[in-house]
Structure 1
Amino acid sequence: MKVVHHRMVTMFGLLHFLFFGALPAMARDVDLLISFKNSLTNPSLLSDWNQAKGVCEFRGIACKAGYVSSLTIRELPLGADFGSVSAHILSLPNLETLSLQSINLTGSISAHANCTTRLKRLDLSSNHLRGSVSDTASLAASCTSLQSLNLSNNSIGQAFYHSYPSFLPNLKILDLSYNKIATNKDIQWLFSKLGILKHLDLSNNNIKGSIPKISNCTFLQYLDLSSNQLSSIVPAGTFSHCLNITYLNISSNHFTGIAPPDIDTSMNLVILSLSNNNFSGEIPISSLVAMPGLQLLELAFNNFSGSLPNSVSNLTSLELLDLSANRFSGPIPHSICTQSVSSLKVLYLQDNYFSGFIPDSLRNCTNLVSLDLSLNLLSGSIPGSLGSLSNLKDLIMWQNNLNGDIPAELSSLKSLKNLLLDYNNLTGTIPDGLVNCTSLNWISLASNRLTGSIPIWIGKLENLVILILRNNSFTGSIPPGLGDCKGLAWLDLNSNQLTGNIPPALAKQSGKIVASLLVVGRRYVQLSIGNNNQCHGTGSFLEFDGIRSDDLMRMPSTRYCNFTRAYTGFTGDNLRNNISMLFLDLSYNQLEGHIPIEISTMQYLMVLNLEHNRLTGPLPEKLGDITHLGVLDLSHNFLEGRIPASFSALSLSGLDLSNNLLTGPIPEWGSLVTFPAYAFENNSGLCGFPLPPCNSGSTSREDRSQLSSTNNQSFQSWRIALGLLFSLFFIFGFVIGQFLEQISVYFGCDYVSVLY
């Protein structure tokens, strides 16, 4: 009985505590949260924080045993001050996790109160907080149980005004990326006081000077110093004590000399990125093979040279190897992927000087997803054995000396999305079996010696966005089925031997393009052609990942085509649905018949180039309705009649109507008046500015009526059209040469980057 009685007393005491002793503590949680809410510039954003509810029902609140243990609010413009967070939120006695991301939090982190002893995770990222690294360390030291502190994407980095604390007690994760840290005295202190820190991210700051040695990094596993201003050589022993580090990223700095010596002491490395520096010498293969777990190796955009050693095959765990934009030479080792099971998924060797044949051993890279060998000196044929790589999505080999046919075996690549083989010496036809590659987004086979007809089955590739077959010897007619492609935004067929009419069915996809099908996130370059009779069309459009802009001069075509500008950017996904084609170049063929009026339904068309064909008939009045048209070239045809008054509403940056049979007065409003005489010369009877004036006696009533109508539309239409064009010009991320010629002059630069 005594035991039972004792248990009853204990139970009663516990219940008494839970229902009576806990109430004041819960009330304190409510008071602190309401006080924080009342300190906001707009308390209504937290309208559900009211005393009529239980505290555990407040927005963003999680509880344990009735107490507030976690508070998470993200992307809500509270406009709070850090002092209020310190006074109210950090004082919650049982708080373990606080996450206030993107809430427009301001103030200095130096104005902090003592944290609750239970706080383990504090995330104040993507706000407007100020302070120094010293303040950051003091904040971490005052929160004695804190294990993770995220202050990324703020304004931390102002000069420190007081001494650093002596240690960081329990901190394991510290993220100060995307801040304004500039002095390397800050990282010297951090490197000397790492304690049990496992994760340190200082990327995307402005840290200058040389990299200090890390004297005490026994526990460090993750270190990111990328995208800073660090320079000089990496001294021996810098990372020699970091025996447990698995992630090391020092890319996008200004390091020089050989690759970091003694890197082989970090035998547990899984990810190593040294890209975008000025490292030189040979690849440190002996150090790399000492890392059996290495999965990702990025050495791109350096000055490494010499050959790629056969021992690269000993990196058996490697999944990504990026050696692009260096000075490697010699053959691609036949030993690559000779292991019975290869882990390699991504192989980037573009923009080097590799020569010889493409090794057939690549077929052993059974997990390969992306292969880029562009801008090298490779010769021979494309191995048909690549067709066995069932996971391959990217086959990119533009600008080499490859010859022979496009292997029919590639038809087995059901996952293939990008087939880019421009600027080679490929012959034969496009294999019909590629119709099975239904995932294709981008087909680019320009500047080869391909023959035969453009396959009808291309229209069945519903995911196709970019089709570039320019500068080959294709014959026959343009397949009307291309209009069935639901995402075709870029069609370049110029400089072939195509005959027949322009299919009106090309406009079938107008208003039906599905934005989700568009190519996203691919870096590209648009080369704008100057005045040169040897090269035709609007320009060259190339995939540009892993290529130095300066190395474009290695392309023979840059010398004889007189490319005047190189515009780089990224293809984007910010198009809305129900748009139309953006780029249509059918120039330098033998096309006949009228310009289909259906083209006018392509409301988002920015470039229309039909020059150097055999087109006849009048200029369609409806072409003036293409709201976003910026470049129009109809020169060197047999077009006749008058220039429609509707053309005055077009906000054109490039226009050529020369060498036709056009007659009558040139409309005197809109962008037409901005073009020189050569845009209209060599016609049968065009007159008016910029050509000689029309003979008033020969101007018909119809002509005068047309001019009067144009005058009435006047400057208002011109302003509206111009505003619409420039506001929507960058919709897809494709940069049209003639437009950007003007923009580059305005900004005073040769290269224009457009990021999405």
Structure 2
Amino acid sequence: MAGDLDLLISFKNSLANPSLLSDWNSGQVVCEFQGVTCKNGHVSSLMIRGLSLGVDFSSVSAHILSLQNLETLTLHSINLTGFISAPTNCTGRLKELDISSNSLRGSVSDAASLADSCHSLEMLNLSHNSIGQAFYSFSPVQPRLKMLDLSYNKIAINGDIQWLFSNLGSLQHLNLSNNNIQGTVPHITNCTSLQHLDLSTNQLSGSIPAGTFSGCLNLTYLNLSSNHFTGNAPADIETWSALVTLSLSNNNFSGQIPISALAALPGLRLLDLAFNNFNGTLQKSIIKLTSLEILDLGANQFSGLIPHTLCTYGISSLKLLYLQDNYFTGLIPDSISNCTNLVSLDLSLNLLSGSIPSSLGSLTKLKDLILWQNNLNGEIPSELSSLGLLRNLLLDYNNLTGTIPDGLVNCTNLNWISLASNQLTGLIPIWLGKVENLVILILKNNSFTGSIPAELGNCKGLAYLDLSNNQLNGSIPPALAKQSGKIVGGLLVDGWLAVRLGGSMNTQCQHTHNFLEFDGIRYDDLMRMPSTRYCNFMRPYMCGTGSFQKNSMTSMVNLDLSYNQLNGHIPTEISTMQSLRFLNLEHNHLSGQLPQELGGLTHLLEFYVSHNMLEGSIPSSFSGLSVSDLDLSNNRLSGPIPELGSLATFPAYAFENNLGLCGLPLPPCNGGSTSKGGVSEQLSTNYKSSQGWWIALWLLFSIFFIIGFVIGQFI
């Protein structure tokens, strides 16, 4: 029988490029090979990750699985190809086999045969492969197998899971998520050992009849999210008495949530029912869920009051409370402050009224306070300054008044401050420049006065700055560009999905862009926002805020200072912000010339400087811009529009109402009438002819983007 050294060298020689395992040599001690661990001089463990070996599974089966003392084998993301098959000489000691993130093919039957051939196998991870092309007769699941992961494969036939559910054996952990399994969930029999079941992100449909999981008395984790289930929540939830985690999110469940049944689950810690059609009120009896730590009821149709008893009694263990995107009314209960372990609170996109309870300042573990789009009034409580761990403060689209509390300077961990579309007044605080971790600052659509603090340039990670539609005056501080190329690594906004909505040119929309936290909101429900009722939002830019993660080569992404009373020149220092995608300076009193240096902003997507007093010619460097939207209209610009680049492709209204601009898309510079009437007539003709084309282009872009976003949810 071949020894360990011979088997490993044979495996190496089967590679298309054996040099990838350069230290696997016959003259070297086998226990010193890359990835090898030994016990008593024999190979007991082999781990290779992220090395593109490009080898067929048959070679693994013939050589690696024949190692007689092998206990664990991990070949993760090594470009392992071919069909999985039952090895003829699988070591009797192998307990854990991880061959995930490869290009393996075969059926669920083949996976079962592989497990059956390795008699001691307890854990088999085949996730992120291409398992599931065919449905054959099955071998029984190896009776000692405890963990089977087939997630992120191509299993589609309902018969696969029907067979698995009737042959679970001693399985404790079964993961079939992110496949394409269709049909209904079959009844599970003989599942007394099963503790973890994940069927999320498939194409399962229909209702879940009572008794489907009734035999799974030890089930602690059940994830049925992101399918197409309908009807009421399962009627026999109370029989799943061992449940700790239950996720039914992203389905089409409806009716009221069965609080009394859920109260029969004493160990339930996570309840996720988001993105369904549950309705009715949130019953006071929810306090019976005494062990609950995570409650997500977002994106449903709940209405009525948030129970004032929510955190009064045993449910005070809550860490995450998500009630966003519903129709809750009334006040934010003071009793929420009794949930002293609360880390994240999201009540956005509801109909809540009254003031923000000052008692929230006692939640010293709170990191996320998200209350945007309600009917809240009053001032921002100064007590929030006690929240030293606060990362995200999102209070947009309310009726808040007063100033920004100076005490928030104590919240040094703030990443995202968004107070847009309120009635806030006073100066923009200088101390914001001391919040070094600040990534997103949105103060638009308020009544702030005074100048823009130059100290904002001291923020080491400021990527998105929107101060538009206020009453700010003075010049644009060149110091805003101080952080360009000097960003501290690792600064980011954790885990949120955001949407940036761009609108058409509409005189009724003083500001046509919205950057919103979007992690728990239905896209269609954005239409509930008042600003979307009169602004034709056509350009959605979806992004995870993790994309704002900083490194030493990046700078600001968005700078919007439009609709203010700013004067002076446009600072040339803006050109050092090489990561700028959106630059909006329109509707101010800016003068001087367009800086030649701005033509070097090669990543710029949108550039607006209309309705200012800019003069001179359009710099020739602007030919290098590859913007998708541009507006230089209503200034005092003159001379020819640069012929090279994309400028001539924009409609005439992007250049209209200047002193003497000429050339495409305006009338030529060396002929035709240049009188005010003639130019106006020509501009009107160009505008009319291009308007339909321009709108059609943006609609096409929007449809493409939305389809891409939806598809991305299932990848």
User: In which range does the TM-score fall when normalised by the shorter chain?
Assistant: over 0.9
1:109 CA drift (Å): 1.4
Corresponding residue for residue 188 of structure 1: 162
Q: Name the larger-Rg structure.
A: 1
Q: Given that residues 537 and 609 in structure 1 are in contact (C-alpha distance below 8 angstroms), is that contact kept between their aligned partners in structure 2?
A: no
Alignment of 1:363-374 (within 5 A): 363-374=337-348
Corresponding residue for residue 416 of structure 1: 390
Instruction: Name the CA distance, whole Å, in 2 between partners of 1:111 and 1:293.
Output: 40
Q: 2:701 aligns with which of 742, 745, 753?
A: 745
| Structure-2 change in CA distance of 1:408 and 1:92 (3 Å) | same
Corresponding residue for residue 20 of structure 2: 45
1:575 CA drift (Å): 5.2
Q: 1:686 aligns with which of 661, 676, 688?
A: 661
Q: 1:550 aligns with which of 508, 524, 540?
A: 524
Instruction: Name the CA distance, whole Å, in 1 between partners of 2:323 and 2:702.
Output: 36
- 1:442 corresponds to 2:398: no
Tell me which amino acid in the other structure corresponds to 1:259.
A
| Structure-2 change in CA distance of 1:65 and 1:673 (3 Å) | same
Q: Secondary structure at the match of 1:33?
A: helix
1:695 CA drift (Å): 4.6
| Structure-2 change in CA distance of 1:266 and 1:741 (3 Å) | farther
Fraction of identical pairs, as percent: 71
Question: Which moved further from structure 2: 631-640 or 509-518?
Answer: 509-518
Q: Given that residues 90 and 113 in structure 1 are in contact (C-alpha distance below 8 angstroms), is that contact kept between their aligned partners in structure 2?
A: no
1:341 CA drift (Å): 7.6
Q: Summarize deviations over 1:632-691 as a string: whole Å, max 9, x none.
A: 211111111222222222222222111112222222221221122212221222223322
Q: 2:461 aligns with which of 487, 493, 496?
A: 487
Instruction: Name the CA distance, whole Å, in 2 between partners of 1:427 and 1:449.
Output: 5
Corresponding residue for residue 661 of structure 1: 636
Corresponding residue for residue 236 of structure 2: 262
Q: Secondary structure at the match of 1:200?
A: strand
- 1:505 corresponds to 2:458: no
Q: Secondary structure at the match of 2:583?
A: strand
1:333 CA drift (Å): 0.7
Q: Given that residues 86 and 117 in structure 2 are in contact (C-alpha distance below 8 angstroms), is that contact kept between their aligned partners in structure 1?
A: no
Q: Summarize deviations over 1:347-399 as a string: whole Å, max 9, x none.
A: 00000011110000010010111100011010000000000100111100111
Q: Secondary structure at the match of 2:473?
A: strand
Q: Given that residues 569 and 752 in structure 1 are in contact (C-alpha distance below 8 angstroms), is that contact kept between their aligned partners in structure 2?
A: no
Corresponding residue for residue 71 of structure 1: 46
| Structure-2 change in CA distance of 1:693 and 1:46 (3 Å) | closer
Q: 1:317 aligns with which of 291, 301, 315?
A: 291
Tell me which amino acid in the other structure corresponds to 1:87.
A
1:751 CA drift (Å): 5.3
Corresponding residue for residue 616 of structure 1: 591
Tell me which amino acid in the other structure corresponds to 1:247.
Y
Corresponding residue for residue 583 of structure 1: 558
1:571 CA drift (Å): 2.1
Tell me which amino acid in the other structure corresponds to 2:277.
N
Q: Secondary structure at the match of 1:90?
A: helix
1:167 CA drift (Å): 4.7
Q: Given that residues 566 and 751 in structure 1 are in contact (C-alpha distance below 8 angstroms), is that contact kept between their aligned partners in structure 2?
A: no
Tell me which amino acid in the other structure corresponds to 2:435.
L
Instruction: Name the CA distance, whole Å, in 2 between partners of 1:317 and 1:592.
Output: 58
- 1:425 corresponds to 2:399: yes
Q: Summarize deviations over 1:6-25 as a string: whole Å, max 9, x none.
A: xxxxxxxxxxxxxxxxxxx7
- 1:359 corresponds to 2:333: yes
Tell me which amino acid in the other structure corresponds to 1:672.
L
Question: Which moved further from structure 2: 602-611 or 189-198?
Answer: 602-611
Q: Secondary structure at the match of 1:189?
A: helix
Instruction: Name the CA distance, whole Å, in 1 between partners of 2:366 and 2:236.
Output: 36
| Structure-2 change in CA distance of 1:565 and 1:691 (3 Å) | closer
| Structure-2 change in CA distance of 1:750 and 1:106 (3 Å) | closer
Corresponding residue for residue 116 of structure 1: 91
Instruction: Name the CA distance, whole Å, in 2 between partners of 1:90 and 1:589.
Output: 70
Instruction: Name the CA distance, whole Å, in 2 between partners of 1:310 and 1:636.
Output: 55
Q: 1:224 aligns with which of 174, 190, 198?
A: 198
- 1:602 corresponds to 2:558: no
Q: Secondary structure at the match of 2:317?
A: coil
Q: Given that residues 35 and 46 in structure 2 are in contact (C-alpha distance below 8 angstroms), is that contact kept between their aligned partners in structure 1?
A: yes
- 1:156 corresponds to 2:131: yes
1:558 CA drift (Å): 0.9
Corresponding residue for residue 690 of structure 2: none
1:576 CA drift (Å): 3.5
Q: Given that residues 438 and 462 in structure 1 are in contact (C-alpha distance below 8 angstroms), is that contact kept between their aligned partners in structure 2?
A: yes
1:579 CA drift (Å): 2.1
Structure 1 unaligned regions, length at least 5: 1-24, 700-737
- 1:390 corresponds to 2:364: yes
Instruction: Name the CA distance, whole Å, in 1 between partners of 2:544 and 2:672.
Output: 55
Corresponding residue for residue 279 of structure 1: 253
| Structure-2 change in CA distance of 1:238 and 1:427 (3 Å) | same
Instruction: Name the CA distance, whole Å, in 1 between partners of 2:466 and 2:346.
Output: 23
Corresponding residue for residue 177 of structure 1: 151
With the length of structure 1 as denominator, give the TM-score of the two structures.
0.88
Instruction: Name the CA distance, whole Å, in 1 between partners of 2:673 and 2:126.
Output: 76
1:106 CA drift (Å): 1.2
Q: Summarize deviations over 1:157-210 as a string: whole Å, max 9, x none.
A: 12134x222452211111111111111111111111111111111111111101
Q: Summarize deviations over 1:711-747 as a string: whole Å, max 9, x none.
A: xxxxxxxxxxxxxxxxxxxxxxxxxxx9997595397
Q: 1:93 aligns with which of 47, 63, 68?
A: 68
Q: Summarize deviations over 1:72-117 as a string: whole Å, max 9, x none.
A: 1111111221111111111112221111111111111135324122
- 1:210 corresponds to 2:180: no
Q: Summarize deviations over 1:202-226 as a string: whole Å, max 9, x none.
A: 1111111010001111111110011
Q: Summarize deviations over 1:595-642 as a string: whole Å, max 9, x none.
A: 122222222222221111111122222222222223221111111122
Q: Given that residues 538 and 585 in structure 1 are in contact (C-alpha distance below 8 angstroms), is that contact kept between their aligned partners in structure 2?
A: no
Q: Given that residues 302 and 327 in structure 2 are in contact (C-alpha distance below 8 angstroms), is that contact kept between their aligned partners in structure 1?
A: yes
1:752 CA drift (Å): 4.7
Structure 2 unaligned regions, length at least 5: 675-693
Tell me which amino acid in the other structure corresponds to 1:631.
E
Instruction: Name the CA distance, whole Å, in 2 between partners of 1:583 and 1:660.
Output: 23
Q: Secondary structure at the match of 1:483?
A: helix
Question: Which moved further from structure 2: 460-469 or 29-38?
Answer: 29-38
Tell me which amino acid in the other structure corresponds to 2:505.
N
Tell me which amino acid in the other structure corresponds to 1:488.
L
Corresponding residue for residue 677 of structure 2: none
Q: Given that residues 297 and 321 in structure 1 are in contact (C-alpha distance below 8 angstroms), is that contact kept between their aligned partners in structure 2?
A: yes
Corresponding residue for residue 648 of structure 2: 673
Instruction: Name the CA distance, whole Å, in 2 between partners of 1:451 and 1:286.
Output: 47
Corresponding residue for residue 234 of structure 1: 208
Corresponding residue for residue 354 of structure 2: 380
Instruction: Name the CA distance, whole Å, in 2 between partners of 1:743 and 1:91.
Output: 60
Q: Given that residues 48 and 58 in structure 1 are in contact (C-alpha distance below 8 angstroms), is that contact kept between their aligned partners in structure 2?
A: yes
| Structure-2 change in CA distance of 1:749 and 1:433 (3 Å) | closer
1:567 CA drift (Å): 3.6
Corresponding residue for residue 691 of structure 2: none
| Structure-2 change in CA distance of 1:164 and 1:693 (3 Å) | closer
Question: Which moved further from structure 2: 31-40 or 103-112?
Answer: 103-112
Q: Given that residues 514 and 578 in structure 1 are in contact (C-alpha distance below 8 angstroms), is that contact kept between their aligned partners in structure 2?
A: no
**Aligned pairs, how many?**
692
| Structure-2 change in CA distance of 1:740 and 1:402 (3 Å) | farther
| Structure-2 change in CA distance of 1:63 and 1:293 (3 Å) | same
Q: Summarize deviations over 1:265-288 as a string: whole Å, max 9, x none.
A: 111111110101111110111111
Alignment of 1:536-575 (within 5 A): 536-573=510-547
Q: Given that residues 504 and 512 in structure 2 are in contact (C-alpha distance below 8 angstroms), is that contact kept between their aligned partners in structure 1?
A: no
| Structure-2 change in CA distance of 1:458 and 1:359 (3 Å) | same
Instruction: Name the CA distance, whole Å, in 1 between partners of 2:630 and 2:390.
Output: 38
Tell me which amino acid in the other structure corresponds to 1:659.
N
Instruction: Name the CA distance, whole Å, in 2 between partners of 1:415 and 1:126.
Output: 37
Instruction: Name the CA distance, whole Å, in 1 between partners of 2:512 and 2:373.
Output: 19
Tell me which amino acid in the other structure corresponds to 1:41.
A
Question: Which moved further from structure 2: 533-542 or 348-357?
Answer: 533-542
